[in-house]
A and B are shown apart, each in its own frame.
Chain A
Amino acid sequence: DARVTQTPRHKVTEMGQEVTMRCQPILGHNTVFWYRQTMMQGLELLAYFRNRAPLDDSGMPKDRFSAEMPDATLATLKIQPSEPRDSAVYFCASGPLGGGNTGELFFGEGSRLTVL
């Protein structure tokens, strides 16, 4: 049963620490998205990749956030240094976009980050 896998599921850290979240997309999906969910903002698009190439990361605070896709099986989202306002649930989603596909996304279970 193919699914998107995210680690860690939960992370509690102190302000100023580096946080790395990882995502294994579904094999064969060409597009990977990172979203952040908060009560106030809903699901915000942070960054996304097509065939491992970054297409748009305008939703990320550039000074502290970075997203990479070192290979087809791994996407990472890093926060350095973390701040309390970064506390949220971070979702990774993958999908087979383009080529007539609808764009349905398959989500991971999310990484709940708490920055103290």
Chain B
Amino acid sequence: AQKITQTQPGMFVQEKEAVTLDCTYDTSDPSYGLFWYKQPSSGEMIFLIYQGSYDQQNATEGRYSLNFQKARKSANLVISASQLGDSAMYFCAMREGRGNRDDKIIFGKGTRLHILP
């Protein structure tokens, strides 16, 4: 069963608008972490933001924020005031495991975001 689901294969958004990229996850582990990575056309993978399952507040990093809804098992990425340079593939990922023992990190299939001028 898919553990990380990104339902939007592609999105087109006008520059300066806010963007929400969806991510839902499935785990029975009470301790887990959620990540978003950006992959521009150059192919590199860039870490954007992290949310721990026990974190009380939603994570924020500059224009990025993570809308963490634990009961719904969703971890949507919000990009405020989008820019042309935000055009890229975005991956949601989850770390699950039992603390130090065997954490593994799995990724969703990604959402390709196009910012229109």
Interface centre among B33, B52, B104 (most CB of A within 10 A): B104
By the criterion CB–CB under 8 Å, are A109 and B44 in contact? yes
Size bracket of the A interface: 20 to 34
Q: Contact residue range for chain B?
A: 20 to 34
- Bound Cα distance A110, B105 (Å): 17
The complex places the Cα of A55 from the Cα of B100 at a distance, in Å, of 12
The prevalent SS among residues of A at the interface is strand
Query: Which residues of the partner chain B approach A93 to less than 8 Å between Cβ atoms?
Result: 45
A8 to B45, CA, bound (A): 17
- B13 CB to closest chain A CB (Å) equals 21
Q: Bound state CA distance, A106 and B33, in angstroms?
A: 16
Q: Which 9 A-B pairs have the closest CB atoms?
A: A42-B109, A98-B100, A43-B107, A107-B45, A103-B95, A102-B50, A97-B103, A42-B110, A104-B47
15 CB-based A-B contacts, threshold 8 Å: A42-B6, A42-B91, A42-B107, A42-B109, A44-B107, A45-B107, A55-B102, A91-B45, A98-B100, A102-B50, A103-B50, A103-B95, A103-B103, A107-B44, A107-B45
